[in-house]
Amino acid sequence: MSERIIEFRDALREAMSQEMRRDPRVFLLGEEVAEYDGAYKVSRGMLEEFGPRRIIDTPISESGFAGLAIGAAMLGLRPIVEFMSWSFSLVAADPILNNAPKMLYMSGGQFGCPIVIRGNDGAGGQLGSTHSWCVEGMFSNVPGLKMAIPAFPDDAKGMLATAIRDDDPVFFLESERLLAMKGHVPEGDYYVPFGKAVVRRPGTDVTLVSFGRPVHFCLDAAEELAKEGISCEVIDGRTIRPLDIDTIVKSVKKTNGCVVVDQSWSFGSPGSEVAAQVHAHCFDDLDNHVMRVHSADVPSPYAANLEQEYLPNARRIAEAVRSALYVA
Amino acid sequence: MSSVTDPAPPATTGGRPLAERTSATPKQLQEWLRQMLLIREFEIRTMQAYQDKKIGGFCHIYIGQEAVAVGCTAAVQHADPIITAYRDHGHALARGMDPKYCMAEMFGRIGGCAKGKGGSMHMFDKPNNLFGGHGIVGAQTPLGTGLAFAKKYQDEVIEGGVNKHVTLCFLGDGALNQGGFYEAMNLASLFDIPVIFVVENNGYSMGTSIERGTSMSHRIIAKGEGCGLAGYEIEGMDVITVYEEMKKVADIARAESRPAMVDLRTYRFKGHSMSDPRKYRTRDEEEQWESGDPITRLRDAMIGGGLIDEEGFKDLNKAQKIAVREAITWAENSPEPDASELYTDVYVEKFGPYIGTSMPQIVTDAEGSR
């Protein structure tokens, strides 16, 4: 059977379009999503198929349209909000953090918020600090939301479709640097369940755990380390909330080593959470403490070389692995 | 149009006979009087319970503004969504919430409308289409725009018909200075969303008078007009005026599917919250407004119109006192939430420590009585 190869951005669009055909309550709104075909062409052609009542161009007004979508979700619609960048979500902090994830709780179960908020997350495009946010560190702190970070085109489709069908609010973090990535994506209905990590590369010496784009940095590092005779098992966590700690623990109990790679800052982050949980579950199995590789603890720089050094790149990961394994 | 800090018109200037002033039936008038008396009594007892430490947190009293919630709610249909800020007990009761769920919520009991998880500022009533109770100033304005958007979407995109609904989004004059409100008005106008932003203009955001905190305070509807919203200034201490004027506003918004902004001039007789000594305003000013008490005005108008007598009024008031007393007893007898409730209603889905969600008694009771 021949594989169907499409881009990451096409996979995202396919998930949205299929769910919109299935469910009239689903609609997409955001800046430039309709007539402009999306700032990154994720929603290309959707206006033609679904019309302006369901593919809705908004003004630059994140707090307003995010709040509008949350209100609509309270009444049972299933909005998809596109933030051109998660960096812009900061001006919508109150609706997305105070309303969406807390509505079910504060109303004692009366009003849920089945919304998907999606957009570009992370540095890598030389955009400087204000446009390069990795929000997973800040936002994953909040109970009531789910957080999904796909690293491959098939997951982009399957996880976004799952997000749209989910009854809870989902923060869906995409990397602009991955949108042109090509891969096999199943046609038709395709759903990837949340809370199920996947082993991207089996190995025996150390477990690398990551989410989103840095999964690729881990795979690059693993390739390089294999030449040195070091065998890395690379786990793609896929979702941060829920976190599939079981798959991670199973791997660490086998390898007896763990390096967590997270593109958000180190202080109070998914990386620190995973490290803490691994320490708790695998205390007697670890040959060394869990090592962590994050974006450098500084604002994201503009200069190309500084930005590359800032990211949790393959070189820094390889260094951490050697250190974890006491390889000089 | 009088300025906000001018005294309210005295109670006796109803002027024209009732039948000329309103299309409301005697039964409707009686119901409004009952609701205002219920809210008044409920709030008096709420203050007592707060002082007795049966209620915690922040607590904002609605006394003085009863004509607003009652008149506005009467001017729309039950299926029309309502959303408001944190001074929300009056809206909940006017919308039809049984006072027992409202009181139990403040007592932190499982029988509360939100199982005791929301408190005074977060009253939700799904069977009565009340979408909160929101604690952050202005936060409810984009949400209210979304409720109206959703109703229109359901009517037109899903059902294929025309918009049949209008949403009331209440806010205080303090919310006039929050950015989200302007974003909400702009979006509502751009997208032809039938939401009415009802500013309960009581002249003060906490201790800051509207003149000190809001530009164009003498004509706040200019802010809505800047976004293309129809603006209305309505005297808010007389429930008949509120009803008659709001009905026109709501009918237009519904028929034309357009947003509107209403400046409803009112006054809170008590402080901003229970801890407010009210040093920022004079006793003289308070007394002038109190002389225009909305309950007294409707009572006098109804007595003048022969719709009720002193005895009937006393009986009606007594019935509300009994209803509130029963609500308090019910709330006191409602158990505290089980510790397991800490982990319910966080997510719909069950995973990890989260054990799913279930509807509170306010919903299951309504379903059972259907």
Mean predicted confidence (pLDDT) in B202-225: 96
Structure tokens at B5: 């800090």
Structure tokens at B157: 């995109």
pLDDT tens-digit map of A68-93: 999 999 999 999 999 999 999 999 99
CB-based contact B281:B271 (threshold 8 Å):
no
The arrangement of secondary structure in B18-337, i.e. its CATH architecture, is 3-Layer(aba) Sandwich (3.40)
Do A68 and A96 lie in one domain? The reply is: yes
Catalytic site includes residue A62: yes
Nearest to B66 by CA among B45, B29, B93, B47: B93
Do A208 and A293 lie in one domain? The reply is: yes
CB-based contact A255:A286 (threshold 8 Å):
no
Cα→Cα distances A284→A253, A287, B141, Å = 9, 8, 53
Mark yes or no for CB contact B142/A112 under 8 Å.
Answer: no
Of the residues A184, A212, A235, the one at which a domain ends: A184
Average model confidence (pLDDT) across chain A? 97
Residues in chain B within 8 Å Cβ distance of A94: 136, 139, 180
> Residue holding tokens 């947190």?
B57
Residues in chain B within 8 Å Cβ distance of A81: none
Range of the domain at A156: 5-184
Residues in chain A within 8 Å Cβ distance of B349: 166-168
Do A133 and A35 lie in one domain? The reply is: yes
- A328 pLDDT higher than 90: no
pLDDT tens-digit map of B149-165: 999 999 999 999 999 99
Question: How many angstroms separate the first and last alpha carbons of chain A?
Answer: 47
pLDDT at position B270, please?
93
For residue B10, cis peptide bond before it (omega within 30 degrees of 0): no
- B75 pLDDT higher than 50: yes
- A148 pLDDT higher than 80: yes
- A3 pLDDT higher than 90: no
Say how far apart CA B181 and CA B184 lie, in whole Å: 5
Say how far apart CA A136 and CA A265 lie, in whole Å: 9
Mark yes or no for CB contact B139/A67 under 8 Å.
Answer: yes
Of the residues A123, A157, A184, the one at which a domain ends: A184
Reduced to 3 states, what is the DSSP secondary structure of residue B213? helix
Do A162 and A223 lie in one domain? The reply is: no
User: What pLDDT band is residue A1 in, cutting at 50, 70 and 90?
Assistant: low
- B199 pLDDT higher than 80: yes
- Torsion, Cα B242 B84 A65 A69, to 10 degrees, reads -110
Three-state SS sequence of A144-159:
CCEEECCCCHHHHHHH
pLDDT at position B271, please?
92
Average model confidence (pLDDT) across chain B? 95
Q: Which phi and psi (to 5°) does residue B204 adopt? A: -140, 130
User: What pLDDT band is residue B15 in, cutting at 50, 70 and 90?
Assistant: low
Say how far apart CA B271 and CA A294 lie, in whole Å: 50
Q: Within chain A, where are the H helices?
A: 8-22, 46-50, 62-74, 93, 103-106, 136-139, 153-165, 214-226, 245-255, 270-282, 304-310, 314-324
Distance from CA of B54 to the nearest CA of A (A): 20
Do A140 and A233 lie in one domain? The reply is: no
A-B CB pairs within 8 A amount to 165
Reduced to 3 states, what is the DSSP secondary structure of residue B281? coil
Say how far apart CA A236 and CA A262 lie, in whole Å: 11
Residues in chain B within 8 Å Cβ distance of A73: 146
Mark yes or no for CB contact A54/B363 under 8 Å.
Answer: no
pLDDT at position B5, please?
46
Do A144 and A279 lie in one domain? The reply is: no
Q: Domain ranges in chain B?
A: 18-337, 339-370
Say how far apart CA B81 and CA B148 lie, in whole Å: 7
pLDDT at position B274, please?
87
Do A211 and A166 lie in one domain? The reply is: no
Residue A190 domain flag: no
Do A154 and A211 lie in one domain? The reply is: no
Residues in chain B within 8 Å Cβ distance of A76: 150, 154
Is the four-CA dihedral B38, B39, B44, B46 of positive or negative sign?
Answer: positive
pLDDT tens-digit map of B258-272: 999 999 999 999 999
pLDDT at position B4, please?
45
Mark yes or no for CB contact A106/B145 under 8 Å.
Answer: no
Please report the residues numbered 274 through 293 in chain A whose beta carbons come closer than 8 angstroms to any beta carbon of chain B: none
Catalytic site includes residue A32: no
Do A180 and A202 lie in one domain? The reply is: no
Do A176 and A250 lie in one domain? The reply is: no
Number of domains chain A contains: 2
User: What pLDDT band is residue B19 in, cutting at 50, 70 and 90?
Assistant: confident
CA atoms within 13 A on the CB side of A179: 20
pLDDT at position A265, please?
97
Q: What is the CATH number of the domain that holds A298?
A: 3.40.50.920
- B296 pLDDT higher than 70: yes
Q: Does A105 touch chain B (CB under 8 A)?
A: yes
pLDDT tens-digit map of B309-363: 999 999 999 999 999 999 999 999 999 999 999 999 999 999 999 999 999 999 9
Element (H, E) at B84: strand B82-84
Do A253 and A149 lie in one domain? The reply is: no
Q: Does A23 touch chain B (CB under 8 A)?
A: no
Nearest Cα residue in chain B from A104: B345
**Long-range Cβ contact pairs of B25-28 (< 8 A, separation 24 or more):** B26/B307, B28/B74
pLDDT at position B10, please?
45
**Which residues does A280 contact at the CB level (< 8 Å), separation at least 6?**
none
Mark yes or no for CB contact A71/B190 under 8 Å.
Answer: no
Q: Are strands B204-205 and B208-209 parallel, antiparallel or unpaired?
A: antiparallel
User: What pLDDT band is residue B2 in, cutting at 50, 70 and 90?
Assistant: very low
Element (H, E) at B265: strand B260-265
> Residue holding tokens 């309550």?
A25
- B22 pLDDT higher than 70: yes
| DSSP per residue, A200-267 | EE--SSEEEEE-STHHHHHHHHHHHHHTTT--EEEEE--EEETT-HHHHHHHHHHHS-EEEEESS-ST
pLDDT at position B28, please?
97
Reduced to 3 states, what is the DSSP secondary structure of residue B48? helix
Q: What is the CATH number of the domain that holds A105?
A: 3.40.50.970
Do A68 and A210 lie in one domain? The reply is: no
